[in-house]
Structure 1
């Protein structure tokens, strides 16, 4: 089974690819999926330290993908990244097991801080 630092799930392909490149420059290995079903399939094929999940996906809403991720791999760290999330979405995602809820445009330094804090907590 392959191991990656991050799985990026976002239907905005250019945004997802750019984010993967920017994180790659920080020596993080990334896999990108552009819809929820593909992301769920990726969980069977690879392990991820962190999953960055958009809420607005073409096939499944992000909260449904989050629920399926947590059902299959309860210990996976999931960070919600959205341009359209509401306070209600934030509360639902955090209650369902998301570790953080971030708005686009992504502040990469904030993401890295969150990831480092999670890594420190699990060590």
Structure 2
């Protein structure tokens, strides 16, 4: 079975340095590209429609918002999944992200295990 192709939208280098090898260690996921801003993420997504399996998106980016990226993904393939992975996990933010089209929402500080389980389930 082919691995999970992940597009990571995260502007924090320390978090990327942790997430990328952690996903690779699962043996089923690899980060194919990274964006640090809403504009860069949307540009990459527009050029790679249908070529990714999972978009992992932070809410607060160097420019723009992860919510804008989620909304842009609205017309994605039925097999593609979009998840929010953020430190700003309030109930209202979670509801707004799910309403905007995110398939799942995870708190970086308390739900990493659940996030990785979600990724394994997608692979």
Normalising to structure 2: TM-score of the pair?
A: 0.79
Across the two proteins, how many residue pairs are aligned to each other? 116
**What's the counterpart of residue 40 of structure 1?**
42
Q: How does 1:1-123 map to 2 (within 5 A)?
A: 5-27=5-27, 28-30=29-31, 31-43=33-45, 44-45=47-48, 47-71=51-75, 73=76, 75=78, 76-105=80-109, 107-118=111-122
CA–CA distance in 2 between the matches of 1:93 and 1:104? 15
Whose relative contact order is higher, 1 or 2, with alpha carbons under 8 Å and at least 6 apart?
2
Contact 1:13 / 1:34 at 8 angstroms: preserved in 2?
Answer: no
SS in 2 for 1:7: strand
Give me the CA root mean square deviation. 2.3
TM-score by length of 1: 0.79
The one-character-per-residue Cα deviations of 1:60-89 (angstroms, maximum 9, x if unpaired) are 111111111224x25331110111232111
CA contact (8 A) 1:11 1:35 kept: yes
Unaligned runs of 5+ in 2: none
Q: Which runs of 4+ in 1 moved over 6 A?
A: none
SS in 1 for 2:93: helix
After superposing the two structures, state which structure 1 stretch, 42-51 or 19-28, moved more. 42-51
